[in-house]
Amino acid sequence: MLRGSIVKSRSFLLLLIISLFVFMLSGCGADNQTSVTPTPEPSTPPTPTPTPEPSPETSDSGSNKPKGPVYEPIGSSLAEAYADYFLIGTIYTPNTLVDPERSLVIEQFNCITPENIMKPESMQPSEGYFAFTLPDAMLKFAEENNIKVIGHTLVWHQQSGRFLGQTSDREKAIEQLRNHITNVVGNYKGRIMAWDVVNEAVKDGAPLPADGDWTKCLRETQWLRSIGPDYIEMAFRFAHEADPDAKLYYNDYNMNDEDKAKVVHAMVKDLRAKGVPIHGIGMQGHYDTNVSIESVEKSIKMFSELGVEVSITELDISVNDASVSKSLTEEQEVRQAIVYAKLFKLFKQYKDNIVRVTFWGTIDSKSWRRDKFPCLFRNDYTPKEAYYAILDPEKYLAEHGVAEE
């Protein structure tokens, strides 16, 4: 009985060992059938390679060829050519800080007028808030490069926002006028050569009345409605109080029109007789190739008789028959250049009266009259015939067979 039990126990133990051995063999062969997901170890993400930004100086291909137009020094300077006559100016925009515009302005001009950044709504975009950032950058650029600055403009019927002068309360309007002028002029006291204080206040086609009352010829503006004709006198007095050393100008277009010139002459004469500090008259000079040189001279003479400075403040000459979709023909360029030469020959004759000649733009494509190609430089920043005509007007006229007038 005992022997049988021992045999059974041994048989069971042997069976158990064999089963365990088979199980172990099965587990070892399962590596290609089952897997245990390992605990992931933290990995460091790859450092991204930055996409190179194209340099403004080079093309996308990485070559050294400039992407856009480049101003190549001409070897001559309008400012230097007229150093013994008057200042030569152009407009300033924020783009003036960037080449090629920057290089052109620095080489050719010694005076700048902001095209838009100092107009009333730009200087005071909301009532009581004054924006000086852009003009500050302009002054910094000018002072670093020994360039004079003209402030343009303090009082105008356009680009003046929705609140300046827009009230029926006369006292409130006067305070708005005073506050705007005092803050803007005062902020740049001693740094701005001259201000266009009042701009385009005389209406077109209004001859001076027989009684000489120039106030009847004033443009209907928010300031005339809210204050009356004396807003002009107030504006000049406020500006003078804010900066006694700055020259103060009345500025207008079509000043070679005899009727308008007579109205402005009467206005300035009358105000100066009252002691109003008006120091200069700005003739804008937005002409075309048919302009009468004689009419320009008559106005220069008339204004000079008042004992004030005269400046040509926004000169450009449109080519009447220019095609918008094309560039100027050689004949058109020469025709425009001859008009510029005639004007500058005239200006030189009045060097004792003219303080400054400012062009309203540098290249045609950025001009407000771009469809008529009025500027001295082409879109690629190369000089047009007009540039050389201005550089030496007498020589240019002689070379093109233009007789003495």
pLDDT in tens, 227-261: 999 999 999 999 999 999 999 999 999 999 999 99
Of residues 45 and 155, more confidence is placed in 155
Is residue 334 one of the residues assigned to a domain? no
Give the domain CATH number at 159: 3.20.20.80
Active site residue 233: no
Task: Please report, as a single letter, which amino acid is at residue 231.
Answer: Y
Give me the pLDDT at residue 394, please: 97
Active site residue 314: yes
Is residue 354 one of the residues assigned to a domain? no
Is residue 97 one of the residues assigned to a domain? no
- Nearest C-alpha neighbor of 147 from the set 196, 114, 185, 182: 114
Indicate yes or no: pTM above 0.85: no
Catalytic-labelled residue, pool 101, 200, 309, 333: 200
* pLDDT surpasses 70 at 399: yes
pLDDT in tens, 309-365: 999 999 999 999 988 777 899 999 999 999 999 999 999 999 999 999 999 999 999
Q: Tell me which of 48-52, 293-297, 352-356 is least confident.
A: 48-52
Is residue 5 one of the residues assigned to a domain? no
Query: Residue 142: helix, strand or coil by DSSP?
Result: helix
* pLDDT surpasses 70 at 169: yes
Indicate the number of domains in the chain: 1
Is residue 403 one of the residues assigned to a domain? no
Q: Say if CB 74 and CB 343 are below 8 A apart.
A: no
Catalytic-labelled residue, pool 115, 314, 333, 385: 314
Q: Say if CB 251 and CB 313 are below 8 A apart.
A: yes
Give me the pLDDT at residue 188, please: 98
Percent of the chain at pLDDT above 70? 83
| Domain containing residue 228 | 111-284
Q: Say if CB 104 and CB 362 are below 8 A apart.
A: yes
Q: In whole numbers, what is the pLDDT of the chain averaged over residues? A: 87
Give me the pLDDT at residue 204, please: 96
Q: Tell me which of 12-16, 154-158, 316-320, 352-356 is least confident.
A: 12-16
* pLDDT surpasses 60 at 49: no
Cα–Cα distance for residue pair 400/110, rounded to 1 Å: 29
Other CB atoms within a 10 A radius of the CB of residue 380 amount to 13
Cα–Cα distance for residue pair 241/246, rounded to 1 Å: 10
Give me the pLDDT at residue 4, please: 46
Handedness of CA 293, 299, 300, 302 (dihedral sign): positive
Give the mean model confidence (pLDDT) for residues 92-114.
Answer: 98
Residues facing residue 395 across a β-bridge: none
